[in-house]
Structure 1
Amino acid sequence: MKNKKPKVLHIISSLQQGGAERQLIELVKKNKNHAICQLISGNAFEDEVNDNKIKIFDLKTKNIFSFIINLYKLNKIINYYNPDVINTWMYHSSLMIIVLKLMKIKNNIPLIWGLRCSNMDTSHYSILLKMVIKFCKFFSHIPDIIINNSKAGLDFHKKLGFKNKHTVIHNGIDTSRFLLNEKFRNNFRSQYKIHKDAIVLLCVGRNDPMKDHDTLIKAFKKLNRKFPSVILLLAGLGTEKIKNLNNIITLGPRKDIEYIYSSSDIIISSSAFGEGFSNALAEGMSSKLIPIATEVGDSKYILGNIGKLIKPKSINELYKAIEYMLELDKDNFENQKKLARKRILNNFSQNKMMSSYNKLYAEIVDK
């Protein structure tokens, strides 16, 4: 298959909004010989899927009983699609394909696991997730290679005891999509009655213990007493349920995320644990937002020398980091914005990510 692109079947829990899901959609959009199988129904990317004619298989898993039945369905999908490579995304889909392998079904198709998190604190999640991770660790010798989207994730999984060959492919950002658009900025601010000169902070992420909105909100409440005109936007699944506080606008899940980046000035990643490579952080930087991030996952590498890196779960450090940025003079503030975009352009392009994946697929098929 030296001159032919491998046919790849990607398996993922669901196509709900999320960083892994976004990266998968971008990868498949540029590779017409790829398809996606989701375990649970959901498509936050419906317009892009339809516009790009992406082939989607939906197992419609609802419980453990349908999971067992869907092993048979998944086998039928693999037979029908006949991929050269199977690439799973995250733990649940990785375990499901391992069950098929153990049943001696489709043992000959090269298998890649894609793991996206770093230092997961499973005490916040169900016992089922803990069991799935343990099973994946036990069977981690089976895939041909494990892709992590962060160096921190690679180190974390090796420390947990995941075997086999690991590699890192960082997320790639569509810098032609995520860039400052003054029209978007003005329209969004007008819609939400935000003054054109107000400084707007943004945090993008689902309402989840990992994202630690609590620390961010507490730091912002303290900050707002000194800077009463500053606005905080919270976007992501479940943020609409966060109680509205003074100068905090909760947006919930949004498909027009480019508008929200363009309307803002500072992007904040307040994650307490588990983050591998923060899409929101990199997309915000690509949109000329100054980054402030907790040192979780590969955030230190994403930022380089731009913005501020702080300890997780520290209200005071987060407050001080935002305060520092707000007190910069206009020239330095604008320069930080320019440097943020330059950092993404030079290090985390979508083309670089695509090239890394496609090279790996070709190598694994030609082995």
Structure 2
Amino acid sequence: MKILHIITGLGDGGAEAVLYRLCTHDDPSRHHVISMIDGGKYGPLLQGAGVRVTCLGMSRGWISLRGLWQLHRLIRQHKPDAMQTWMYHGDLVGGVVGRLAGCTNVFWNIRHTDLVPGATGRSTRLVARIGALLSPFVPTGIVACAERARTVHIEMGYDCRKLTVIHNGYDVTRFQPDMQARATLRQEFGVSPDTILIGLVGRWNAQKDHPNLLSAFSRLACERKNIALLLIGAGCTLENAELAAQVERHGLSSRVIFAGRRSDIPAVMNALDIHVLSSSSEAFPNVVAEAMACGTPCVVTDVGDAAFIVGETGWVVPPADPICLARALDQALEERQDQETWQARRFAARRRIVEIFSLERMIEAYHQLWKSSASPKEGSAGE
């Protein structure tokens, strides 16, 4: 099969990472990726792996007639067996143009759960609503990356007959326990071997709710002197005046490490003792599965499919509740004092990702979807 992917952009995001893994761990020659904006982070990486990438050069938030015509022409030239579009704007533009260009096998991909005003832009919410109206007519099938996302979008009006869940898959040979990487990175950050390192891998964004984590961590820091907090992601730097002010306000300047954007996430996950997801909204948070694959237990807020990912291997708390988050972190720190129990938890966390969220399962689920009939059955693939 020849698969044509349409995505808004190829920057550093969860959907882009999943698209990269899907194309490069399948036969790269069968995939062609069209970015409506530019190559971003993943464009060169995809090309380096043998995947054809075309960038239309549209401006973010602005759809040009020239770009639409170029997309229409590329689809007619490529004549794909199936089109897989990604995220709301890619779904709407790619889906409609794909149909007009004669492609009858168009599959949308939804990466959001709750569309919260303030955390989700107005244009994104509008495009999502338009997608609901068009869902009975444009896509052959619709992929949701999480059970929660599927439920929410059915409530929004998306065609329930077409919605299928395919969970993200992970390269467990890349994300795995690595004591050497742990020691090297902790040395780089100036973290002593006896310091317990708690971390959040996530860009500075309202939905990641860094204030929730800082408030919870400040409660622990009063009682525990051997803990430190590592913040990794775009915007998690001292140059971020708002974040730095919040850290200072909690009296945590000497306990928080600002790491900013990193490309060595497997090493980061190994350096941590506990990974925290403090978000107010998510769909299928990749960082939780990546941490678990490295044998790092997680404390997560009950958003999207986070609770499903951790299963019995971690702690789940309500979102926007720093008291509950602090209590769960304290429970994890207490358990960590029993090395045998903690090692069993670490092993269980990795085993859950290996058994349920492998790349092979995800790729096979997409293959089954692309080969499916024009009216996919309701249900969940890849479980």
Residue 109 of structure 1 is aligned with which of 87, 91, 104? 104
**SS at structure 1 position matched to 2:50:** coil
Q: Which of 321, 327, 334 in structure 2 is aligned with 1:314?
A: 321
The one-character-per-residue Cα deviations of 1:193-228 (angstroms, maximum 9, x if unpaired) are: 111122111211121111111101111122111122
Residue of structure 2 aligned with 1:341, choices 350, 359, 368: 350
- What is the aligned partner in structure 2 of residue 134 from structure 1? 129
Cα RMSD after superposing both structures: 1.9
Contact 1:122–1:129 at 8 Å: present in 2 too? no
The answer for the alignment partner of 1:291 in structure 2 is 298
Which stretch has the larger CA shift, 220-229 or 170-179? 220-229
Say if 1:84 and 1:365, in contact at 8 Å, map to a contact too.
Answer: no
- The question of whether the paired residues in 1 share the 8 Å contact of 2:10 and 2:43 is answered with no
How far did residue 43 of structure 1 move?
2.5
The answer to whether the aligner puts 1:17 opposite 2:24 as a matched pair is no
Change (3 A) 1:46 1:255: farther
Determine whether 1:350 maps to 2:347: no
Q: Which amino acid aligns with 1:345?
A: V
Preserved contact between residue 9 and residue 85 of structure 1 (Cα < 8 Å): yes
- Unaligned runs of at least 5 residues, structure 1: 1-5
Alpha-carbon separation, structure 2, partners of 1:339 and 1:126: 38
Inter-partner Cα distance in structure 1 for 2:255 and 2:65: 48
Residue 192 (structure 2) pairs with residue 184 (structure 1): no
**1: CA distance, partners of 2:110 / 2:80:** 20
* AA matched with 1:62: S
Matched, 1:160 2:167: no
Retained in 2: the 8 A contact 1:114–1:148? yes
The alignment's TM-score, normalised by the length of structure 1, stands at: 0.93
In the TM superposition, what whole-angstrom CA distance separates every residue of 1:277-315 from its partner, at most 9, and x where no partner exists? 111000100000111111111112111111101100000
Distance apart, 1:366 and its partner CA: 11
Distance 1:105 1:170, change over 3 A: same
Measure, in 1, the Cα distance between the counterparts of 2:81 and 2:135: 20
Which residue, out of 27, 32, 36, partners 1:31?
27
Q: How many residues align?
A: 359
Residue 271 (1) aligns with residue 266 (2): no
Q: In structure 2, do the counterparts of structure 1 residues 185 and 79 end up closer, same or farther at CA, with 3 Å as the change threshold?
A: same
Q: In structure 1, what residue type is equivalent to 2:216?
A: A
Does the 8 Å contact 2:301/2:317 carry over to 1? yes
* Residue in structure 2 matched with residue 170 of structure 1 by the alignment: 167
Structure 1 position 66, deviation (Å): 4.8
Distance 1:300 1:66, change over 3 A: closer
Q: Give how far 1:269 is off.
A: 1.1
Q: In the TM superposition, what are the counterparts of 1:1-367 in structure 2 within 5 Å?
A: 6-29=1-24, 30-32=26-28, 33-45=30-42, 48-62=45-59, 66-100=63-97, 105-141=100-136, 142-163=138-159, 164-240=161-237, 241=240, 242-243=243-244, 245-273=253-281, 275-328=282-335, 329-364=338-373
What SS does the corresponding residue of 1:210 show, helix, strand or coil? Answer: helix
Q: Secondary structure at the match of 2:262?
A: coil
Deviation of residue 46 (structure 1)? 5.3
Evaluate the alpha carbon distance shift between residue 364 and residue 265 of structure 1 in structure 2; reply closer, same or farther with a 3 A threshold: farther
Overall identity of the aligned pairs, in %: 28
Query: Which letter maps to 1:317?
Result: C
- After superposition, the C-alpha distances for 1:160-208 in whole angstroms (9 at most, x for unaligned) are 1112511100011111000111111111111111111221112111211
1:64 Cα deviation from its structure 2 partner: 5.8
The residue that corresponds to 2:250 in the other structure is none
Does the 8 Å contact 2:204/2:234 carry over to 1?
yes
TM-score normalized by the length of structure 2: 0.89
Q: Which letter maps to 2:289?
A: A
Q: Tell whether the 8 Å contact from 1:17 to 1:237 is kept in structure 2 after alignment.
A: no
Write the distance in 1 (CA, Å) between the matches of 2:61 and 2:215: 39
Shift of 1:47: 5.8
C-alpha distance in 2 between matches for 1:7 and 1:64: 29
TM-superposed CA distance for 1:63, in Å, is 5.3
1:3 aligned partner: none
Consecutive unaligned residues in structure 2, runs of 5 or more: 248-252, 377-383
SS of 2:118 mapped into structure 1: helix
